[in-house]
Amino acid sequence: MFKNKKVIVVMPAYNAAQTLHKTYEEVMEQEIVDLVIVVDDGSQDETVAIAKNLPHTIVQVHPRNQGYGANQKTCYRMALEQGGDIIIMVHPDYQYTPRLIPAMVSIIGNDLYPCVLGSRILGGYALQGGMPLWKYLANRFLTLVENIFLGAKLSEYHTGYRAFSRKLLKQLPLEQNSDDFVFDNQMLAQILWFGHTIAEVTCPTKYFTEASSINLQRSVKYGFGCLTTGLAFRLTKMNLINSRLFPSRANNFTQVS
């Protein structure tokens, strides 16, 4: 708990058997997390078996792989159902250190910002941390264009380390978003669409064999999806088109049973 607010960590998992337990242990070492939710998206390894043996953890299994975006939709829906006030997404591949959780929780729990990103770019050490040059350059290009389209000044839009307030998650039309990787980008665009400010904290970059990563072909698809999202945001803002991603007002879109 943080100031009587329930803190839930969600982990969208896919073939994360080698790193899940290590990530979980570091999450719980922060002594601020009430519950962990692991959503497995059709893994072919021992991810589910490992997750089911973790204390203070709820495990949800997709019988087949539905996609990274679909996994997050389940994560956030379950976190809200469990009464989460502050929800943090931590990838179970240990690419992002859970040691930043207290800082991110504090920012949201003190009502400073409703969303916090762990940025790999903000500290200026992404390349030294192992980020491939082509990914770094693509990140910088897409971020520049998106900042122009969205009227923001974020250091990056492509981190998978994110924290949200309950109120914010309930405002977003997440079910309208893609089930693929571009979900991440659409979600941030929606947060900005509804007039919220996004905070960032610098996050060390980790790249190693067990860390998940999408290949070049899927990265290109993701890149075009980001550009399309930004363009749709700008055209909708100019009243030139209507987009299901950017409705006229926010009104508790996330359905909680």
Does residue 144 register a pLDDT over 80? yes
Please tell me the CATH code under which domain 7-237 is placed. 3.90.550.10
Which whole number is the average pLDDT over 126-137? 90
Q: Where are the domains of the chain?
A: 7-237
Give the per-residue pLDDT at 257: 35
In this prediction the pTM is 0.94
Residue-wise pLDDT for 161-187, tens only, equals: 999 999 999 999 999 999 999 999 999
Please report, rounded to a whole number, the percentage of residues in the chain having pLDDT higher than 70.
94
- Residue the block writes with tokens 């800082």: 103
Does residue 249 register a pLDDT over 90? no
Give 193-199 contacts, CB < 8 A, sequence gap 24+.
193/233, 193/245, 193/246, 194/250, 196/113, 196/114, 196/115, 196/168, 197/113, 197/115, 198/113, 198/115, 198/116, 198/117, 198/152, 198/154, 199/107, 199/112, 199/113, 199/115, 199/116, 199/117
Query: What string of DSSP letters covers 176-236?
Result: GS-SSTTHHHHHHHHHHHTT--EEEEE------TTS----HHHHHHHHHHHHHHHHHHHHH
| Amino acid letter, residue 164 | F
Calculate the average pLDDT of the chain.
93
Give the per-residue pLDDT at 172: 97
